[in-house]
Amino acid sequence: MEKFHLLIEILKTLIKANRSLETGELHRELVKTGVLNDSESRVERRKLLRALSTLEVLRYVEAVESKGRKPFSWKLNHNKFRFLTSYSSEELISVAVLFSFFPRHYRNLPFFQKAFNVVERFERELPEEERKLLRFSFERIPIPNERFVKLDASVVEKLVGALLENRKVYFIYRGKPFRVFPVKFFTYNGQFYLGALDGKTYRNFLVSRIENVEVMNERISLGKKRALVNRTFKIPDEEPFIFGALLPGTYATELEVKRGIKFFPTQFHSRFTESGIEVFLIGYTGKRFVSWFLVEKVLSLIPPNREMIEMAKDLRIKEREPKLSYSLRTNRRRFQRFKEKGVEILKLRMSVFNS
């Protein structure tokens, strides 16, 4: 029984270290936890070596040969523990914090709940006070216009399963039948969408409106998915263009601006001026992008100009935004469409407040 306990403790120590340990280092760690006695004892060292030899025969651990006179090191054979998570306390805390930013509204969906169960299981090794502090200190605050809907858990499970197996699915959407290859499962404005190939066309479906999902046997390769999406993914209403926005000088310090603070995800430059903070960014002509400017306190919009375009060229922005044009005329035309869409939405908002 004592030998069995030693074998388990060796494995636990190697898992927690998440790296190879020299025999002496491993011995000292086991002394710290009270599994072995004095690390200088030859009797205890032989006991450890016999246990390591047993684990090596079983292929649970592997000996790592060292150059010169350095002693052997030992590491876990991860092929024997494919789904056994190795983590440090820092890694565990980092994962727990990351999960705290996941929308609460969707945490109880069975597919995601599995991940939360794993984190909670590992968290038990932390002191109770640390667990309470983690829960209290980190939170995701949704933005005002985020939407959340109740999703059918079985629909989510089947769609995710089909995605991971590259299978075709059949479902009813807004009363109509569809047979599609799921490509992307993503969130926008708090809601889940399914991007899928409908024949030779890519289109997006609101997951909350999908019903009666059946996973089919027909498959498609990831390579073919990519090729079809690259060829068919078009949003004619959303064309990229370069422009600028002036933000209040109180939004950031000069040091933060110099360090590259981002006010918008598509920003590629910012600078302090006497009027405020000038930001150069990529915009889109569709209504989704306009909504950003109804929330942010933008003092004024700066039309596309030569300086912005030359800067975008130097930074090779077009490499990550292939549909972008370096033509000043094209950018100004798209900027005008963006403004018209903004005025259209603003009129709608004004009618609400004036009613």
Using one digit for the tens of pLDDT, what is the confidence trace for 133-185?
Answer: 888 888 888 776 677 888 899 999 999 999 999 999 999 999 999 999 999 89
Tell me what pLDDT residue 18 has. 73
Q: Which segments of 222-299 are extended strands (E)?
A: 240-247, 267-272, 277-284
In terms of Cβ atoms closer than 10 Å to its own Cβ (0-12, 13-18, 19+), residue 162 is buried
Return the pLDDT at 233.
53
- Which pLDDT does position 331 carry in this prediction? 96
pLDDT of the residue at 214? 96
**Residue predicted with more confidence, 352 or 279:** 279
How much is the pLDDT for 296?
A: 66
Q: Which domain CATH number covers 59?
A: 1.10.10.10
Least confident stretch, 117-121, 163-167, 310-314: 117-121
Q: Assess contact for 171 and 211: CB atoms under 8 A.
A: yes
147 is a domain residue: no
Stretch 67-95: mean pLDDT: 72
Question: Residue 148 falls within a domain, yes or no?
Answer: no
pLDDT over 80 at 124, yes or no: no
Dist CA 195 CA 13 (whole Å)? 44
In the listed set 232, 251, 272, which residue is the last one of a domain according to the structure? 232
Instruction: Give the domain range for residue 268.
Output: 240-354
Q: How far is CA 334 from CA 293, 331, 348, in A?
A: 16, 5, 22
Torsion from C-alpha of 276, 317, 313, 289, nearest 10 degrees: -50
Confidence band (pLDDT; 50, 70, 90) for 118?
confident
Within this chain, do residues 54 and 97 fall inside the same structural domain, yes or no? no
**Per-residue pLDDT, 244:** 95
Same domain, residue pair 303 and 266: yes
Residues 203 and 250 placed together within one structural domain of the fold: no
Same domain, 244 and 323: yes
Mean pLDDT of all residues in 22-27: 89
pLDDT of residue 112: 87
User: Is 49 domain-assigned?
Assistant: yes
Q: Does 166 share its domain with 210?
A: yes
CA–CA separation, 171 and 212 (whole Å):
5
pLDDT at 235 exceeding the cut of 60 = no
- Same domain? For 76 and 96 the reply is no
For residue 145, being part of any structural domain is answered with no
Helix (H, G, I), strand (E, B) or coil at 233: coil
Is the domain of 338 the same as that of 245? yes
Q: How does pLDDT run across 66-75, given as a tens digit for each residue?
A: 665 556 788 8
The verdict on residue 93 lying in a domain is: yes
Is residue 55 one of the residues assigned to a domain?
Answer: yes
pLDDT of residue 329: 96
| Residue 2 exposure: Cα atoms within 13 Å on the Cβ side | 7
Which of 79-88, 205-214, 299-308, 344-353 has the least mean pLDDT? 79-88
Is 289 or 166 the better-scoring residue by pLDDT? 166
Boundary of a domain, candidates 80, 109, 125: 80
Q: Does the pLDDT at position 246 exceed 60?
A: yes
For residues 128 and 163, membership in a common domain is answered with no
Residue, of 221 and 305, whose pLDDT is higher: 305
Kindly state whether residue 143 falls inside one of the protein's structural domains. Answer: no
Same domain membership, residue 246 and residue 222: no
310 located within any domain: yes
Report how many domains make up the chain: 4
Same domain? 206 vs 108: no
Are 61 and 164 in a shared domain? no
| Percent of the chain residues topping a pLDDT of 90 | 33
**Least confidently predicted of 1-10, 80-89, 120-129, 148-157:** 80-89
Band of residue 194 on the pLDDT scale cut at 50, 70, 90: very high
Q: Based on the number of CB atoms within 10 Å of its own CB, is 16 exposed (0-12), middle (13-18) or buried (19 or more)? A: middle
Nearest to 152 by CA among 195, 109, 186, 102: 109
SS3 content of the chain, % helix, strand, coil (to 5): 45, 20, 30
Distance, in Å, from the CA atom of 171 to the CA atom of 182, rounded to the nearest integer, reads 11
Please give the residue that has the higher pLDDT: either 230 or 51.
51
pLDDT of residue 209: 94
Edge-to-edge strands of the sheet including 61-64? Answer: 21-22, 73-76, 61-64
1-24: pLDDT as tens digits: 577 888 888 888 888 777 888 888
Same domain, 188 and 252: no
